[in-house]
Structure 1
C-alpha cells in the first residue's frame, strides 16, 4: 500500500538529486531508514533506476559477492 511507504531519493536531494519520478523509489519505513544508515558489516545496498524506469537494487558484497542487480517484482 503506497500510504505505508516513504519516497526515497536515489540520488539524495541534499547532493543535488532532483525530485522527479526517475530519482524516486517507494520503500517501507524500515528499508528507507536502512538506506540512510552508514554501511554496516555487510556493506550498503544501492539503488539504480533502469532504462525500464524501474528501480534495481544492488546488494552489498557481504550479502552477494557478485552484487547481482535485482528488480522489485512488487506492483502497486
Structure 2
C-alpha cells in the first residue's frame, strides 16, 4: 500500500482517519483503481474540493499545488512520510 495515512503535505493523520479521493474524478473519466486514489483526512479532502489546491500524480506519488495566495510561485508539495511508491 502506497499511502500510510493522509497524503497531504505535512499531515500525519492515520489511515483509519482518512477517506479515498479520486485524483481524476469519475465524472471526468477517472477510474476507481489504486493509481487514481489517494488517502486524505476529512479536512484535506474538503480543502481539495472547496479551494484552488490541485492534486496530481507524479511518478506514482501524489503532489499538491497550493493556490497563488498561499504560495505565489505555486511550488508543489508532497508528504514523503505517509506516501511511498507502490511496488511493481
Using structure 1 for the length normalisation, give the TM-score: 0.81
Aligned residues: 70
- Give the CA RMSD over aligned residues: 1.4
The aligned counterpart of 1:71 is: 78
Q: What is the deviation of 1:2?
A: 1.0
Unaligned runs of 5+ in 1: none
Shift >6 Å, 4+ stretches: none
Using structure 2 for the length normalisation, give the TM-score: 0.71
> 1:67, 1:14 → 2: CA distance?
26
> 2:62, 2:57 → 1: CA distance?
4
Unaligned runs of 5+ in 2: 1-13, 84-88
Give the counterpart of 1:15 among 12, 15, 28: 28
Q: What is the deviation of 1:26?
A: 0.7
Greater relative CO (CA pairs within 8 A, separation 6+): 2
